[in-house]
Structure 1
Amino acid sequence: MFQKLEYIRVGSYTKKLNDFPTLKKQLWEKLRDTKFEDTIAKQDLQEINISTHINFQPYFDLKQIPIPSDLDKILFYLLEDKILSKQDNGLYSITNLGAILFANQLKNFPSVGRKALRIVKYNGKNKINMEQEILLDKGYVIAFSEIMTLINALLPTKETINPTTGIREKEILYPQIAIREAVANALIHQDLSITGTGPVIEIFDNRIEITNPGSPLVDIKRIIDTPPKSRNEKIASLTRQLKICEELGTGWDKIATSCELAQLPAPKIEIYEDSTRVVLLTHIPYVNQTSTDKIRACYIHTCLKYISGEYMNNSSLRKRFGLGTTASASMSRLIKDTINSDLIKPLDPTTAPRHMCYIPFWG
């Protein structure tokens, strides 16, 4: 961005910006402090043309406000929430905030055109056989319900018999709240300054991978107890008002808790150079889980217990994995492995082994 600040127009002349060091510094500071959400995505629009580019109906529906019949009142709300801005010439601009959340078609906005969500379904456990690919070229708010519907339609299911009605029913293999929170986090907290890429949801027979541009803002080992941080504060604030996210830092807690209650392998976070991936796994019997998966589950279980004012022990860990008392020795070995990984520690090392409780390393 800085390299582009090379010239400035002065009257009918073009001057090198380096000839005006003070002005160059001021312009750079202004650009540096301007958030992506505030930047203009499309400008010079007349009032009547705004609805061609953005769909503001969900804004009023999710806020539970009757949509005004007067266009000026509609524009008042959209201006207040920085979805629009008014220009000095009396025309209107749509901000990046307005475009990425409410665009009828993201491709019509160059600044966010590559941020459309891709959903990819594979046949099997790898990427060799792609079964289906869907590009949702809409603002995230207006597409969110459709996103969840599409994901559920593509997820593997199992048939169960309703004990009351005797009717066969299909059961999705993942907790709905885990999927919803992971998707919302990927959309809202992605790094929008990384160009040429957007969020992707990949569905395999044994897992879901949800990837977004950017690295986490907090240490992933402390993601359960760390106060919330938002990379895109205005997007997070507005989506909270629209009940898509809570902005309380509880998203990962809900993902981890729902997977634990369903006795699924613990969700995991994978960090790459310029992206973050959340992986949700279908059921794997305890004996078939890797050592890494078991240790991660033990640590997350300990964290969830601790933030609830309780402590992890052999009994609670057995319950987390759906195991009986015969698995006590296995749980003891897992606890020892997790301690050796510097993730948990005894609450009181002097306690008798059978009464030992454990807390996270940061507790």
Structure 2
Amino acid sequence: MSSEHPLWDEIQQGEGKTLEFKQQLPKGDQLAKTLVAFANTSGGKLIIGVNDQRQVVGVQGDEFDLMDQIASMLYSQCQPTLLPNIYLETLEDKTLIVVQVHRGSQLPYHLKSHGRDEGVYVRLGATNRPASLEMIHELERQRLLQSYDEQAAWQVELGELDLTPLTQAFEQVGKPLDTARMKSLKLIREEHGVDRPTHGLMILLGLYEHVEIKCSRFKGTSMAVFLDKKEYRGDLFSQLAQTEGFIKNHLHLKAEILGLQRTETYEIPIPAIREALVNAVVHRDYSNAGRDIKVGIYDDILNIVSPGGLPNGLTLSEALKGRSEIRNKVLARVFKELGYIEQWGSGMSRIRELCQQASNPEPAFSESGDFVDIEFARDTSLAATDTDETGGSIGGPMGGSISGKVAQTELTDRQLAVLELIKRDSHMPYRKMAEELGINDSAVKKHLNKLKAAGAIERIGGTRGYWKVKV
């Protein structure tokens, strides 16, 4: 039966970072774009003979001729040469062509017709995106087994830097930090006979503008109104301590009676939060300026978002199983040396274990586009005195005034955001909405169903139809 076939299970999960469907063999360079993106990211499968609704329709024409066309297209359009595994599968008495590509070792791969500077594609969620110049450089480093933080920073002299935060951190664990040790940790490297700081040292000292953590406490369950916000800069050790303090200030304490003693603990175990913050700091992408770590505290969740996605082709399922890929080798070495990291690949499993030991819900890990997101559930039964405070409005009210039936249903800010996207483009597909909002496809569909039930929108036509706004 189809339902027992492994490929059927993959199809039912829908398109994603490592899976794409095509109803028929795509024309032009669409096939090559997808497989180049797979090769540059985490590998993946392109299944031909499945439509966007996950229905198995089968391929039309001679299967072996189509397989030859695919091999010929890839050879003529991709550079370096891709060597995919092309094979046939049968589901529901229909024939499918599966084109499987593993992550390549000759990164970056590109389309010949576009050239190397504009023809590199990567996979973000279920879409193929042109790689930025920073991403192309990152792929080159991955091919050479180098990391951004190991490279020399040429904009400053080593003697100009105040190393006090770093030397104090090592002194606290009883370890000296002399020049030889700094070289072995690749905090400094010799270039043309001169010792120079690496990007890793600059990041640890917080000397780049984008090395910061932005913290916000929002009122309710949306970002519409904030109660408190802070931006922490400086060395990474201070940022971590200040961020932990901010979170503690906005979490509730719960009391327990153990024997004759009354003890108070935070609603989310602090060691789990600390582990999540260290993960965010150590594994974020520092090569792409203009982005930072964000911590959001709502009435129902604590949210930690780290820019850069999972490193080096790692998938979320692999990370949850304990596989480790290090993006920032200098930072990882230093944090392990200082005892912040117990062992490679243990972060996510340790966070889950700590929450389980505290009888808390398991945190939700997700990769949305180019960000990694961790959500801790809060105990909404605890008294929440801070939610009664007034705060500032972020960006003003969303979507303007809405009257009639919609106003009575009290649409959420997310639903209002979906409505604004539809007003902007009534033909916008689910996938594009999900990218714009930074959520998954299924969440978009739920919001659309709510909007339909509220009478705010109406679907005109089928798959190729559009949304009609009724307010």
Same fold (TM over 0.5): yes
Structure 2 partner of 1:248: 344
Structure 2 partner of 1:57: 167
Asked if 1:38 corresponds to 2:38, the answer is no
Cα distance in 2 for residues equivalent to 1:261 and 1:30: 40
Note closer, same or farther for the CA distance 1:190–1:30 as it changes in structure 2 (3 Å cut): closer
Structure 2 partner of 1:273: 369
Considering fraction of residues, name the structure with more helix. 1
Are the counterparts in 1 of residues 147 and 327 from structure 2 also a CA contact under 8 Å?
Answer: no
Cα distance in 1 for residues equivalent to 2:281 and 2:317: 22
Note closer, same or farther for the CA distance 1:267–1:97 as it changes in structure 2 (3 Å cut): same
Q: What RMSD, in angstroms, separates the aligned Cα atoms of the two structures? A: 3.2
Note closer, same or farther for the CA distance 1:251–1:213 as it changes in structure 2 (3 Å cut): same
Structure 2 partner of 1:99: 202
Cα distance in 1 for residues equivalent to 2:284 and 2:265: 30
Asked if 1:224 corresponds to 2:224, the answer is no
Give the deviation of 1:252 after TM superposition: 1.0
Matched positions, count: 244
Q: Secondary structure at the match of 1:246?
A: coil
Give the deviation of 1:118 after TM superposition: 1.3
Cα distance in 2 for residues equivalent to 1:29 and 1:185: 24
Segments of structure 1 that go 5 or more residues without pairing to the other structure are 4-27, 68-73, 286-363
Asked if 1:234 corresponds to 2:234, the answer is no
Asked if 1:75 corresponds to 2:186, the answer is no
% identical equivalent positions: 19
Note closer, same or farther for the CA distance 1:58–1:171 as it changes in structure 2 (3 Å cut): same
Give the deviation of 1:130 after TM superposition: 1.0
Q: Secondary structure at the match of 2:171?
A: helix
Give the deviation of 1:87 after TM superposition: 4.4
Cα distance in 2 for residues equivalent to 1:123 and 1:156: 15
Cα distance in 1 for residues equivalent to 2:140 and 2:258: 63
Q: Which amino acid aligns with 2:248?
A: N
Cα distance in 2 for residues equivalent to 1:226 and 1:30: 24
Q: Secondary structure at the match of 2:227?
A: strand
Q: Which amino acid aligns with 1:275?
A: F
Structure 1 partner of 2:455: none
Q: Which amino acid aligns with 1:40?
A: A
Structure 1 partner of 2:246: 150
Are the counterparts in 1 of residues 306 and 373 from structure 2 also a CA contact under 8 Å?
Answer: yes
Are the counterparts in 1 of residues 170 and 176 from structure 2 also a CA contact under 8 Å?
Answer: yes
Give the deviation of 1:223 after TM superposition: 3.2
Note closer, same or farther for the CA distance 1:136–1:157 as it changes in structure 2 (3 Å cut): same
Note closer, same or farther for the CA distance 1:176–1:79 as it changes in structure 2 (3 Å cut): same
Are the counterparts in 2 of residues 264 and 284 from structure 1 also a CA contact under 8 Å?
Answer: no
Give the deviation of 1:170 after TM superposition: 4.4
Q: Which amino acid aligns with 2:174?
A: Q
Note closer, same or farther for the CA distance 1:128–1:267 as it changes in structure 2 (3 Å cut): same
Give the deviation of 1:161 after TM superposition: 6.0
TM-score by structure 1 length? 0.58
Q: For 1:23-54, what per-residue CA distance to the aligned partner results, in whole angstroms no more than 9, with x for missing partners?
A: xxxxx96897452112233545263x322x66
Q: Which amino acid aligns with 2:324?
A: P
Note closer, same or farther for the CA distance 1:124–1:79 as it changes in structure 2 (3 Å cut): same
Structure 2 partner of 1:209: 303
Q: Secondary structure at the match of 1:133?
A: strand
Q: Secondary structure at the match of 1:178?
A: helix
Cα distance in 2 for residues equivalent to 1:29 and 1:226: 26
Give the deviation of 1:151 after TM superposition: 2.1
